[in-house]
Amino acid sequence: MSVRPAPAALPELALTPGTAFGVYVHVPFCATRCGYCDFNTYTAAELGGASPQGWLTALRAELELAAGSLGAVPVDTVFVGGGTPSLLGGAGLAEVLDAVRDNFALAARAEVTTEANPESTSPEFFSRIRAAGYTRVSLGMQSTAPRVLAVLDRTHSPGRALTAAAEATAAGFEHLNIDLIYGTPGESDDDLVRSVDAALAAGVDHVSAYALIVEEGTALARRVRRGEIDAPDDDVLAHRYELLDQRLSAAGLSWYEVSNWSRPGGECRHNVGYWDGGQWWGAGPGAHAFVGDTRWWNLKHPSAYAEALTRGQAPVAEFERLDAHARHIENVLLGIRLRTGLPWAALTESEQRRADDAVAGGLLIRAGDRLVLTDRGRLLADAVVRDVLD
């Protein structure tokens, strides 16, 4: 696997036949910066003259470039993430989807998702994006405990995400996700249980739950370094994961990926494409993409991204070509996280011997011709991969 400096244009691309293809759109705008977040996002003061309208113009140019590179390929899934896509409003998100449709044909029954901050939504917002063709909404709730939200620097009120879920349902959305974060310093078991129960009461068919990670360069990392708050405890994180898994499973939401639970049919198909060897074009500042054997990521700042497209260049920061060994590592790393598991035949002979050791140790099970993580294995998924791989 080799990394090369930014090219003026991408190398020739060819989609791998028979795999799902999605479009990811990155919206880099946020009203405020959450203390734990290290995503490629910008508040108004950090944009340096960039604007949502200028970003949309550049996005259209990149999607036109994508269509020219790939040809007439149907899009199975669209995912608009960020950042805070809902800051664009219903009309802005409708324009984003129009930009995708202007350059690609959506497949029949395509899944179209947007993330949304509950504070920047309304009944009118949900009605507008549903009419535009969005089929799924992912709401960032994180917690219903005010003290947890305060540590995370989240600005929404504890109950707003639940109201937003009801508004989305009333607008006709059948597929709703709520994001949770667990293990925040100061969080109790009861805080987590109440958050999970609130998500279930809201009637969502999907929950994503992530352990809090202290990322370098964030405000949260600085607070931990100064001793103002404790770093998340690994044993507590494992206990909280087991707690929320039990709660969600009892309510009929089954895990299908280590950090994701859904009712039957509620899985996020776009994200499954990432984990299951699919391909996607990532459009927008800092977005990552993967087509054929080529992975690339865009220039991060919205101004630099737009300037490259204005010059007629691909807004690529760097790209890499993945050889067979690199693809093998990624297939194992990602595939093992899925409940469907990893094909036994995908492993080398030496990896199969180590996988047998993991089975004997209670971390994996053989389910027919596939390897699947046990409940204990899910807590140690990254370590299982490290132990198995050559």
Per-residue model confidence (pLDDT) at position 14: 86
Which residues have a Cβ under 8 Å from the Cβ of 301 and sit 6 or more positions away? 42, 48, 50, 285
**Nearest CA-CA partner of 115 in 98, 146, 145, 93:** 93
Integer CA distances (angstroms), 259 to 111, 233, 241, in order = 20, 18, 9
Peptide bond into 83 cis (omega under 30): yes
Chain centre distance of CA 287: 12
DSSP three-state, residue 139: strand
Q: Phi-psi region for residue 356, left (φ > 0), alpha (ψ -120 to 50) or beta? A: alpha
As a whole number of angstroms, the distance between CA 325 and CA 347 comes to: 12
Q: Which two tokens stand for residue 340?
A: 């469907």
Chain centre distance of CA 237: 20
Are the CB atoms for 165 and 174 separated by under 8 Å?
Answer: no
User: Which long-range CB contacts under 8 A does 260-263 form with residues at least 24 apart?
Assistant: 260/206, 260/207, 260/208, 260/209, 261/206, 261/207, 261/208, 261/209, 262/205, 262/206, 262/207, 263/205, 263/206
Q: What is the DSSP string of 258-297?
A: TTEEESTT-S-HHHHHHHTT-EEEEESTT-EEEETTEEEE
The 10 Å Cβ neighbour count of residue 236 is 16
As a whole number of angstroms, the distance between CA 276 and CA 270 comes to: 10
β-pairing, 279-283 with 21-27? Answer: parallel
Are the CB atoms for 37 and 77 separated by under 8 Å?
Answer: no
Kind and range of the H or E run holding 356: helix 349-360
As a whole number of angstroms, the distance between CA 348 and CA 73 comes to: 34
Paired strand residues for 1: none
Q: Which two tokens stand for residue 130?
A: 């549903």
Per-residue model confidence (pLDDT) at position 5: 45
Per-residue model confidence (pLDDT) at position 41: 79
Chain centre distance of CA 307: 27
Per-residue model confidence (pLDDT) at position 4: 45
**Nearest CA-CA partner of 90 in 127, 115, 138, 135:** 127
pLDDT (tens place) for every residue of the chain, 390 residues total: 544 444 446 778 889 888 999 999 999 988 787 777 777 777 777 777 778 899 999 999 999 999 999 988 899 999 999 989 999 999 999 999 999 999 999 999 999 999 999 999 999 999 999 999 999 999 999 999 998 888 888 776 778 999 999 999 999 999 999 999 999 999 999 999 999 999 999 999 999 999 998 788 888 778 888 988 888 899 999 999 999 999 999 999 999 999 999 999 999 999 999 999 999 999 999 999 999 999 999 999 999 999 999 999 999 999 999 999 999 999 999 999 999 999 999 999 999 999 999 999 999 999 999 999 999 999 999 999 999 998
> Is the entire prediction scored with pTM above 0.85?
yes
As a whole number of angstroms, the distance between CA 355 and CA 143 comes to: 37
Q: Which two tokens stand for residue 374?
A: 């046990």
